[in-house]
Structure 1
Amino acid sequence: MFFEPSLTASTKDQNQNSVLFVLLGASNLARSFYGLKRCIKRCILPRPADFVHAMGPGRGYVIRGGIFNVTYPPILNCGILETVRNKRKKNQPIVALITDIGNDIMYGVSPEEIIAGLQHLLNAFDEFATNIFITSIPIALKNDIGEFYFRILRQIFFPKSPAEYSQTSKTIEIVNQFIL
């Protein structure tokens, strides 16, 4: 007769070795952060979870960004990789979520600069043998938002943005091709 171990059964290794989660993003991550943390902790029980994050509305990966009167340094230059190096325990597994990538586009950053920044992050996380989850930019501009609404939203959320509709659409496609 075959017996499977109970879902609540755990090994000493699972109880002692926490997983370090690195969460990088902008407003979508900021809004869901506490729920996501709670869900992750429940899903990996009995293992403990540690978290480091760089997030905030309007935050960019390669250029300073924010919304209204709040600005953030770029994720690439905010010290997150040093924090991971310093916080990581010996042989601790790392899981990274890289999401909310599109804000840099609205600040006029070229697709090449965005891709170079993402590649830098991916290379750095490879040094830690990180399990990486990266989300594409979840919009096909020409199918989802017309130019009129694009201009309204750009004026509200990114009033100083130099981004034009057609270039933004092309940049999204190029960055998503890199990600996928």
Structure 2
Amino acid sequence: MTSPQNETVRQRLIVLGASNVAKSLEVLLHVAPEMIPQPLEVYAAIGRGRSYGTQSKFLCRRLPGILESELWPSLEKVSGPVKTTSVITDIGNDLLYDRTVDQIIDWIEQCIIRLRTTEGPIAITGIPLAGVRSLAPYKFRALRAMMFPSSNLQLVTVQQRAEELDARLQAFGKEDDITFIPQKPEWYGFDPIHWRQAKRPEVWHTILSSLGHTMFDYSRVRSNFFHSMKHWMTRPYSRTMFGIEQSQAQPSIKRGEHLTVALY
């Protein structure tokens, strides 16, 4: 019989975010196994238009806030040796829901408190300030109408709050277990809030290497439109589609015997 001391230590990656993670999930599933030993379990509370603290709607789909998701009870049920790292990203999304900086920071602090129970390092990404500062009013109105149609926010308000939010997120990086990762201007193009398709392998490599994971030649990882859409219809643990509540046992993605993804 194998003793507990000789058990293979499972690796766990927890990712919290919104559209950027949803669009680049397939890229992450190619980058992470190159950097993190397997078996690897990915737990992701993500989704287009996702909010950290309140229910969000994107087209015909609704998701609970990340803090209200089933992710947290699921993490508590994990048993056996497991080594965890965590990523908190897409934090500026809630600005477009007209949430105050204080409210968003409170939600992020609650996430940090819960993630600290895993005793692993945490990466927090900043706000893409370069794009926000130079955002043309017509682009902002188009983005607001497409992603947040009920919002009446003005561009100047978002810009001011984005500056304050990024400064306060940077302050988290002073903690021993938290690494702050600024968003590089070259990660963005015409779209000021979503990572460029070609840059997604670099983004994930930057984030995971900041957490101490093994670096590799990420230029061989493909990133294309089909990867962006691959998990569009993959069901999370709970969602509402066309007013109908749906539930799916997790993990909903399995790659062989050594990589699983649970979506919340």
TM-score when normalising by structure 1? 0.84
- Count how many residue pairs are aligned between Structure 1 and Structure 2: 167
Q: Which residue of 1 aligns with 2:202?
A: none
Higher-Rg structure is: 1
Q: What is the aligned partner in structure 2 of residue 85 from structure 1? A: 76
Query: 1:42 offset after TM fit, Å?
Result: 2.2
User: RCO greater where, 1 or 2, for CA within 8 Å and sep 6 or more?
Assistant: 2
Aligned to 2:168: 178
**Residue of 48, 53, 71 corresponding to 1:57:** 48
- The residue aligned with 1:168 is 158
Q: Structure 1 residues 14-23 or 64-73, which shifts more? A: 14-23
CA apart distance, 1:28: 0.9
Cα-to-partner distance string for 1:93-130 (whole Å, 9 max, x where unaligned)? 11111111122111111111100000111111122212
Q: 1:66 to 1:15 in 2, by over 3 A?
A: farther
Give the drift of 1:15. Answer: 7.7
Contact 2:57 2:63 in 1 (8 A): yes
2:90 maps to a residue whose letter is D
SS in 2 for 1:20: strand
Gaps of 5+ in 2: 171-264
Give the conservation status (yes or no) of the 8 Å contact 2:133–2:159. no
Q: 1:106 aligns with which of 93, 96, 101?
A: 96
3-state SS of paired residue (1:35): helix
CA–CA distance in 2 between the matches of 1:141 and 1:161?
20
TM-score, normalised to structure 2's length? 0.59
Instruction: State the match for 1:37 in structure 2.
Output: 29
**RMSD of aligned residue pairs (Cα, Å):** 2.1
Of the three residues 135, 144, 147, the one matched with 1:145 is 135
Deviations 1:3-44 (CA, angstroms, capped at 9, x unpaired): xxxxxxxxxx89811111111111110111122122211222
Tell me if structure 2 keeps the 8 A contact 1:106–1:162: no
What letter matches 2:23 in structure 1?
R
Q: 1:16 aligns to what SS in structure 2?
A: coil
Provide the identity percentage.
25
